[in-house]
Structure 1
Amino acid sequence: MDRVLGVVQGGTAGPPAYGFEVGYVEPGGSELRRPLTDAWAVRFEDSAPVRGFKSYKGQRHLPGLWWSATVGGHIGYESWLERDHVMLLDFDPTVVGVSSQPFWLFWASEKGKGISHAPDYFARRDDGSAVVVDCRPVDRRKTRDWAKFEATQSACDQVGWEFRLVGAPDAIVVRNVRWLAGYRHPRHRLEPVASALRDVFAEPRPLASGATEVGDLVSVLPVLFHLLWLHDLAVDVSVPLHAESLVSPEAVR
């Protein structure tokens, strides 16, 4: 994935001269604005979006809602690119919370001009660390965008968050994860099929032959795909998923 390297293209205003502030919406609906350094411990993964997802006739972007198995609810997106990345965050076994448009970041340029930016996603990992994500195709990153991305990088550095500026993800990974996502809902975790699949794949073996050993593929495969989504079992999603794909026990993280 792409990442801002601290260079603003075009020489426009980047990080602030006077510090950052953040504006966000608490779970109860209260709107707050405070210095970033006072808000580093806020659970932004639980924040409501600070701005809406507009939909209108003829728009180029396709907004929508992604049902997240991680949070058990919907997360908004403004484009298919954002949808793909929130799906990948949902698939990441280290991520325990995600929110979209989590906060406004406010700062002033050296000339005193007020600037604001709302990153696309905030994700919390199971070790307590956090990542802030901005999604923008490489060919659509304008000079003014680079300034805001560099400022967001600087803000994240100040509070110990990772910042990612991402473009189009790997197409094969997206196709595989999108397929598994069709089975992400807990209703697909059926016993005793799930336990039988874990036993069968205690040692690596091809997907179809292992599933056939458990029972009828029509009833077994949805459970297997759910276990792969959960990372209870592992498969290489960087290559096309097929009947001979090697399924293994849960990968060590």
Structure 2
Amino acid sequence: MEASRKIKASSKLSFRGKHNSTKMHRMIPWESTLERDFIKLLDYDPTVISYKFQPEKINYVYKGKKRKYFPDFHVLKNDMKEYIYEVKAFEKTEDEENKVKFQVGMKFCSERKMKYVVVTEKEIRKGFLIENLDILSEVRQDSTSRKIMNVVFRTLEKLGGKTNLGTLKKGISQFNEEEVESNIFHLIYTHQLKMDLISAPISDESFVERMSN
């Protein structure tokens, strides 16, 4: 395994940046907005333990020339298996050069008992998921209150274990609505409460329920 590639500043107009990971507690670089959105999914996915951006370098030969391939993400999941994810716009998955990279990546992973996965906007940008995760992830853990969260759980239980967000907030009058909403959002983001984040933007009409055991 070789050292990861250093991300150089581009002289061309391009989308590059860093995302403050809620899981890795540091800035993670990205080289496309699709990669940025995939990082948000990795942060939210409870099966993901840790991940790195472009930590692998794979040498290969294409059309008689030596080339280097840096897959996008190396991910460790709670099944203790390692995954390599390549993030690619769907329209580019049929490009000959990309198909070669995919084959190189699959061979690299097969030899190391890892899994190689290509993901596109079809898997990453489902419905309103990314937009909703942006809202939920804005809540800082140090701004939450265990006392308020316990009241949220008790109130939801009294309401039958499932109700819409507006009704749940109104049922908790001892704290201000903004505090209550922030704590509910934190509970959803940390998978302690469940909400459909794909079908519609988060609103007071969105249903909230306890996670099943």
TM-score, normalised with respect to structure 2: 0.86
- Aligned-partner Cα distance in 2 for 1:70–1:218: 24
What's 1:176 paired with?
Answer: 132
* CA displacement 1:129-164 (0-9 Å, x = unmatched): 122111111223421111011210222233232222
Q: Please, which of 209, 231, 239 is the counterpart of residue 167 of structure 2?
A: 209
Question: Structure 2: where are the runs of 5+ without partners?
Answer: none
- Aligned-partner Cα distance in 2 for 1:251–1:101: 36
Is the aligned partner of 1:247 residue 2:202?
A: no
What's 2:178 paired with?
Answer: 218
Secondary structure of 1:201's aligned partner: helix
What's 1:190 paired with?
Answer: 145
- Aligned-partner Cα distance in 2 for 1:50–1:237: 34
Letter in 1 for 2:181: L
Q: Which runs of 4+ in 1 moved over 6 A?
A: none
Secondary structure of 2:2's aligned partner: strand
Contact 1:194-1:224 at 8 Å conserved across structures = yes
What's 2:33 paired with?
Answer: 80
CA RMSD of aligned residues (A): 2.0
Contact 1:188-1:226 at 8 Å conserved across structures = no
Considering Cα pairs closer than 8 Å and 6+ residues apart, tell me whether 1 or 2 has the greater RCO: 1
* CA displacement 1:167-218 (0-9 Å, x = unmatched): 21224212222221222x3223223111211222341111121122223211
Correspondence 1:152-163 to 2 at 5 A: 152-163=105-116
Shift of 1:53: 4.5
- Aligned-partner Cα distance in 2 for 1:232–1:55: 41
| Percent sequence identity over aligned pairs | 21
Contact 2:51-2:76 at 8 Å conserved across structures = yes
Contact 1:68-1:74 at 8 Å conserved across structures = yes
- Aligned-partner Cα distance in 2 for 1:177–1:162: 26
Contact 2:81-2:114 at 8 Å conserved across structures = yes
Larger fraction in helix: 2
Is the aligned partner of 1:227 residue 2:187?
A: yes
What's 1:67 paired with?
Answer: 20
- Aligned-partner Cα distance in 2 for 1:212–1:159: 53
What's 1:10 paired with?
Answer: none
Secondary structure of 1:23's aligned partner: coil
Question: Structure 1: where are the runs of 5+ without partners?
Answer: 1-21, 25-48
Secondary structure of 2:171's aligned partner: helix
